[in-house]
Structure 1
Amino acid sequence: MHKVSKLIASVFAASLMLVVGSATAQAQGKIATIRAAELVQQSPQFKAGQTQMKSEFDKRKSDLEAEAKKLGEDLQKFKREQDVMSADARSKTEKDLNTRKIDFDYKQRQFGEDFQKRDKELTESMMGKIKAVIEAVAKEKGVDVVVQDPVYATAAIDITDDVLKRLQTAGAGK
């Protein structure tokens, strides 16, 4: 009788542990991880964005660099020759150089602002596409939560490669 009670108590305890363990597993959900930097750097969307930025801003950048070089040369020439120039010529040249410097500074600031604005637009667009692919892969795999760049995660829950393959397929289709 005592042995039967112990057996029943053991079976009851084991089934209780299974029920509790099952409920805990259901409450926790399925978790996956991604390596965001790798997704961004290796995605064809990122590479296309870099190419687009380069095509949009390289000409302006080289024009600004040429203008800066010419302005620098003209300033050096003025510094060398100002002592032998007439007062009128010196004043006129100085005023012209100051005006050119102000214009150049404005163009440089405008270039930086335009570059940052366009970079932000392209980044937001790219991140929207990447997020949509992450969500699609997570739903297909039955994942409840995707954690970005954890300190530690096993390869079994990392979906970065799956997302990257999907991004490459989408990038090749465009």
Structure 2
Amino acid sequence: MKLRQSSKWIQFGLIAIASAITLPPAFAQDAGTRVAAVNVEKVFNESNMAKASQTKLQNEFMKRQNEIRESAQKIKSAAEKLDRDSAVMPEADRVRRQRELADQDRELQRKQREYTEDLNQRNFEERAKIAEKANQALKQIADQRKIDVIIQDPAYANPKVDVTDDVIKALNSLK
């Protein structure tokens, strides 16, 4: 009887070992899962849509940028002139001109902040438009290639799974 029990335990042990060897693939994630990767910054920098957006923003903000640059140059010139002339001008005039320069500088800084905020807002809006189109392109590529997961900006991706260039081509083909 002891022999029968020990042989059952041996059989049970062999079955357990065989199961341990063969079952992990059954419990593991489906081996057919297809993964791809996309470099978002490359899409935002190299697609025709992104380049057109960048040109549009440059044209839209060029006038304000030039005005700010000219104002800064005028303030700098006025400050240099005040430094040169301050020794020979009356105290009241010097103080008045220093106040005027300080006011002009504060106004310039306010305009620079507004410019930066407006530019960032418009840049965000344009990038959102590109991202929307890029997501549509990604979905099409995923459907065509039967990709289950697309990872955005991975630390490393084998070039075989990188679909960035395909996304750029899809965006470039849009009107």
* TM-score, length basis structure 2: 0.76
- Using the TM superposition, give the Cα deviation of residue 39 of structure 1 relative to its aligned residue in structure 2, in angstroms: 2.2
Matches for 1:19-38 after TM superposition, within 5 Å:
26=30, 29-38=33-42
User: For residues 94 and 47 of structure 2, what CA distance do their matches in structure 1 show?
Assistant: 56
Verify: 1:100 aligned to 2:71, yes or no.
no
- Using the TM superposition, give the Cα deviation of residue 66 of structure 1 relative to its aligned residue in structure 2, in angstroms: 0.8
Matches for 1:143-158 after TM superposition, within 5 Å:
143-158=147-162
**Corresponding residue for residue 60 of structure 1:** 64
**Corresponding residue for residue 50 of structure 2:** 46
1:38 counterpart letter in structure 2: K
- Using the TM superposition, give the Cα deviation of residue 168 of structure 1 relative to its aligned residue in structure 2, in angstroms: 1.0
User: For residues 92 and 56 of structure 1, what CA distance do their matches in structure 2 show?
Assistant: 37
* TM-score, length basis structure 1: 0.77
1:131 counterpart letter in structure 2: N
**Corresponding residue for residue 9 of structure 1:** none
> Structure 1 residues 63, 21: closer, same or farther in 2, change over 3 A?
same
**Corresponding residue for residue 70 of structure 1:** 74
Q: Which whole-Å deviations, capped at 9, do the CAs of 1:115-172 have from their partners, x for residues lacking one?
A: 11111111122112111111111112211111123344444433223222211101xx
Residue 159 (structure 1) aligned to one of 146, 158, 163 = 163
Counterpart secondary structure, 1:83: coil
Higher-helix-fraction structure: 1
Verify: 1:114 aligned to 2:118, yes or no.
yes
User: For residues 33 and 87 of structure 1, what CA distance do their matches in structure 2 show?
Assistant: 68
- Using the TM superposition, give the Cα deviation of residue 63 of structure 1 relative to its aligned residue in structure 2, in angstroms: 1.0
Where do 5+ consecutive residues of structure 1 fail to align? 1-12
1:79 counterpart letter in structure 2: D
Runs of at least 4 residues off by over 6 Å: none
2:103 counterpart letter in structure 1: T
User: What is the RMSD computed on CA atoms of the aligned residues?
Assistant: 2.5
Residue 80 (structure 1) aligned to one of 71, 81, 84 = 84
> Structure 1 residues 150, 66: closer, same or farther in 2, change over 3 A?
same
**Corresponding residue for residue 3 of structure 1:** none
User: For residues 69 and 157 of structure 2, what CA distance do their matches in structure 1 show?
Assistant: 46
Where do 5+ consecutive residues of structure 2 fail to align? 1-17
User: For residues 155 and 143 of structure 1, what CA distance do their matches in structure 2 show?
Assistant: 15
User: For residues 157 and 109 of structure 2, what CA distance do their matches in structure 1 show?
Assistant: 49
Identity %: 28
Tell me the matched-pair count: 156
